[in-house]
């Protein structure tokens, strides 16, 4: 078995309309969902819960980490949209999206080969939740729905502090891209764990 996922090449990182960004993030998530599901679901439970050969996270632990991260980001995005409600100055005007500096740097870090330490709040515990793969896919579905429902807001004015670092400020489009790229990054990690266990 091999995991063939590569980073979505057509997701904009500099400038796009909100519709373009939402469509391309949704497409990237669909590809990620399809490949992760086909990769993980047929595995035996013992293989999914076995630590990597180097003592790192198991495949299910990686899935749990992604669930924890996605829920944190989705909560922050929902909160930002609530604060950007009617009368808050975030009603849609141009529909043009540009990343913040923090968003651009965070997305770039997700595509680097450097190992990044995970904040304690998203480090998986010893026992991942039941049906963790389905839980992860569910967070992606929530993100797709959120982006569709948020088209009436100007995403560059829907701002939040990263739920994982108070030093990083993001807009709504940044957060969506971070979720996608973070998932892609850890999909490659799952592949490395699988290979380490079958070498």
Domain ranges of the chain: 16-198
How many Cα atoms are found within 13 Å in the side-chain-facing hemisphere of 19? 3
Q: What is the pTM of this model?
A: 0.91
Q: Phi/psi zone of residue 87: left (φ > 0), alpha (ψ -120 to 50 degrees), beta?
A: left
Tokens linked to 110: 């997700």
Residue 199's contacts (CB-CB under 8 Å, 6 or more residues apart) are 53
Tokens in use for 125?
A: 């515990």
Position 1 confidence tier, pLDDT thresholds 50, 70, 90: very low
**% the chain with pLDDT above 70:** 91
- List of E strands, 51-104: 96-97
Per-residue b/e over 51-82, b at no fewer than 16 CB within 10 Å? ebeeeebbbbbbbbbbbbbbbbbbebbeebbe
pLDDT per residue as tens digits for the range 135-177: 999 999 999 999 999 999 999 999 999 998 889 999 999 999 9
Which pLDDT does position 112 carry in this prediction? 83
Confidence (pLDDT) at 9:
47
Which residue, among 148, 116, 179, has the nearest Cα to 19 in the 3D structure?
148
The pLDDT value given to residue 166 = 87
pLDDT band at 96 (very low <50, low <70, confident <90, very high): very high
Q: Measured at the alpha carbon of residue 34, what is the angle toward residues 31 and 40, in degrees to the nearest 5?
A: 130
Task: Using the predicted structure, report yes or no on whether residue 179 has a pLDDT greater than 50.
Answer: yes
Q: Which architecture characterizes domain 16-198 according to CATH? A: Up-down Bundle (1.20)
Q: Which pLDDT value is given to residue 194? A: 97
């Amino acid at each position: 078995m091999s995991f063939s996922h590569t980073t979505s090449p057509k997701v904009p990182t500099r400038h796009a309309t909100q519709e373009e960004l939402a469509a391309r993030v949704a497409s990237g998530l669909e590809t990620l969902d399809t490949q992760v599901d086909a990769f993980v679901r047929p595995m035996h439970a013992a293989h999914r819960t076995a630590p990597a050969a180097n003592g790192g996270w198991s495949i299910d632990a990686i899935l749990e980490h992604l669930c924890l991260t996605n829920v944190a980001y989705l909560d922050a995005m929902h909160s930002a949209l609530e604060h950007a409600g009617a009368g808050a100055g975030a009603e849609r005007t141009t529909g043009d999206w540009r990343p913040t500096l923090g968003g651009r740097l965070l997305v770039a870090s997700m595509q680097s080969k450097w190992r990044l330490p995970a904040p304690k709040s998203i480090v998986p515990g010893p026992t991942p939740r039941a049906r963790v793969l389905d839980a992860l896919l569910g967070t992606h579905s929530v993100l797709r729905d959120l982006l569709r429902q948020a088209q009436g807001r100007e995403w560059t004015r829907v701002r939040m502090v990263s739920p994982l670092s108070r030093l990083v400020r993001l807009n709504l489009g940044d957060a969506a891209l971070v979720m996608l790229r973070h998932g892609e990054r850890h999909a490659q990690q799952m592949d490395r764990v699988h290979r380490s266990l079958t070498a």
